[in-house]
């Protein structure tokens, strides 16, 4: 995986971030979801390098080979604001104070928070399989609670750790051939470390507490994303089926939003990399006035 990429561990303050860096050109950051690591982008990142990009692929704090502070009572150490600050500091130390940004699943919440808090740092942002947390919670139905029950199970104290660490391979399914053998092996190594499982669960606990509160504050203050936003979702996942048109929901959170579905299951970077890269490059290559690049 990631042939030609540099691998580094960068101290950003509260955490040490494991990161892969490749290519040359305008910088773009790719943030993974749960329970993946940065290796989930192994089919996408090389295509973006070929397209003339510097591609930065970190493990989020607490995930994979990145570290995280010990859990706190308020879960703030796992907040998306803390993850966003990690990414901003990482990019600063790599010499990039302004960059494009992509987030999937839990990584999309970190990307959303970074773009909301630091619009000066984010030129354009793409969010994959994502709605704001408060929009999910405002739309709780029996179907959502059944299909997304893990949000509320992971928020419970202690029990999720005991269940998952008893047999991580049974909890986290995955097809090695579909994921890619090295990607599967990297994820498997991570989920067998209790400290990683704990950090991943703290991500969800923060989501329903401190992250929810941050989004409620944004909404009350009328804050919106001011850079162009691309929203993509997997047509063979359940986001659109549960919540309707994602663009209609995101319209309240951004001044310039567009997007569409992709024929894929949830892990789009692994399942439909070419289609995803086409969508990303078409968006990120636009000129500032919105016209297409030649």
Task: Indicate the burial class of 48 (C-beta count within 10 angstroms; 0-12, 13-18, 19 or more).
Answer: buried
* SS3 state at 3: coil
**How crowded is residue 142: how many other Cβ atoms within 10 Å of its Cβ?**
7
Cis amide linkage into residue 7, ω under 30° from 0 = no
- What dihedral do alpha carbons 164, 170, 176, 181 form, nearest 10°? 40
> What pLDDT is attached to residue 289?
55
Q: Per the residue annotation, which of 105, 117, 211, 214 is the catalytic one?
A: 105
The answer to whether residues 125 and 111 touch, using CB atoms and an 8 Å cutoff, is: yes
> What pLDDT is attached to residue 286?
86
Widest distance between CA atoms in the chain: 54
Among this protein's residues, is 105 annotated catalytic? yes
> Measuring CA to CA, which residue among 140, 127, 142 is closest to residue 30?
127
The answer to whether residues 183 and 40 touch, using CB atoms and an 8 Å cutoff, is: yes
> What is the distance between the alpha carbons of residues 292 and 294, in angstroms, rounded to a whole number?
6
Provide the token pair at 252: 């309240």
The answer to whether residues 250 and 229 touch, using CB atoms and an 8 Å cutoff, is: yes
> What pLDDT is attached to residue 70?
96
Percent helix, strand, coil in the chain, to 5, is 45, 15, 35
User: Which DSSP string do the residues of 43-66 spell out, in sequence order?
Assistant: TTHHHHHHTT-EEEEEPPTTSTT-
**How crowded is residue 178: how many other Cβ atoms within 10 Å of its Cβ?**
12
> What pLDDT is attached to residue 294?
38
In the chain, alpha helices (H): 45-50, 80-93, 106-117, 133-138, 142-147, 150-154, 159-166, 168-171, 176-179, 181-191, 194-206, 212-221, 239-243, 246-250, 268-271, 273-284
Which residues in the chain show pLDDT less than 50? 294
Q: Per the residue annotation, which of 34, 51, 118, 266 is the catalytic one?
A: 266
The answer to whether residues 11 and 18 touch, using CB atoms and an 8 Å cutoff, is: no
Q: What is the pTM of this model?
A: 0.97
> What pLDDT is attached to residue 229?
98
Q: How far is CA 236 from CA 5, 101, 233, 241, in A?
A: 31, 24, 9, 10
What the chain holds in terms of domains, given with CATH numbers, is 6-284 (3.40.50.1820)
Q: How far is CA 58 from CA 7, 42, 214, 234, 279, in A?
A: 10, 12, 24, 23, 21
């Amino acid at each position: 995986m990631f042939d030609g990429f540099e691998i580094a561990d960068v101290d950003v303050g509260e955490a040490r971030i494991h990161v892969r860096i490749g290519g040359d050109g305008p910088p773009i950051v790719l943030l993974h979801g749960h329970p993946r690591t940065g290796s989930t982008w192994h089919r996408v990142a090389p295509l973006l390098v070929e397209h003339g990009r510097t591609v930065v692929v970190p493990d989020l704090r607490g995930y994979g080979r990145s570290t995280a502070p010990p859990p706190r009572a308020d879960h703030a150490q796992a907040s998306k604001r803390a993850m966003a600050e990690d990414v901003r500091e990482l990019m600063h130390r790599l010499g990039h104070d302004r960059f494009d940004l992509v987030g999937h699943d839990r990584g999309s919440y970190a990307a959303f928070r970074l773009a909301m808090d630091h619009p000066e740092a984010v030129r354009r942002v793409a969010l994959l399989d994502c709605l704001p947390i408060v929009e999910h919670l405002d739309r709780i139905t029996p179907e959502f609670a059944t299909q997304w029950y893990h949000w509320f199970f992971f928020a419970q104290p202690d029990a999720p750790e005991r269940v998952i660490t008893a047999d991580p391979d049974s909890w986290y399914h995955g097809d090695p051939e579909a994921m890619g053998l090295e990607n599967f092996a990297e994820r498997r190594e991570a989920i067998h470390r209790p400290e990683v499982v704990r950090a991943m669960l703290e991500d969800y606990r923060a989501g329903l507490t401190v992250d929810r509160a941050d989004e409620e504050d944004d909404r009350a203050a009328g804050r919106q994303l001011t850079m162009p936003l691309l929203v993509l979702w997997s047509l063979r996942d359940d986001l659109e089926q549960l919540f309707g048109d994602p663009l209609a929901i995101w319209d309240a959170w951004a001044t310039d939003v567009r997007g569409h579905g992709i024929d894929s299951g949830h892990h789009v970077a692994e399942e439909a990399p070419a289609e995803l890269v086409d969508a990303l490059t078409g968006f990120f290559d636009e000129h500032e006035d919105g016209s297409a690049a030649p």
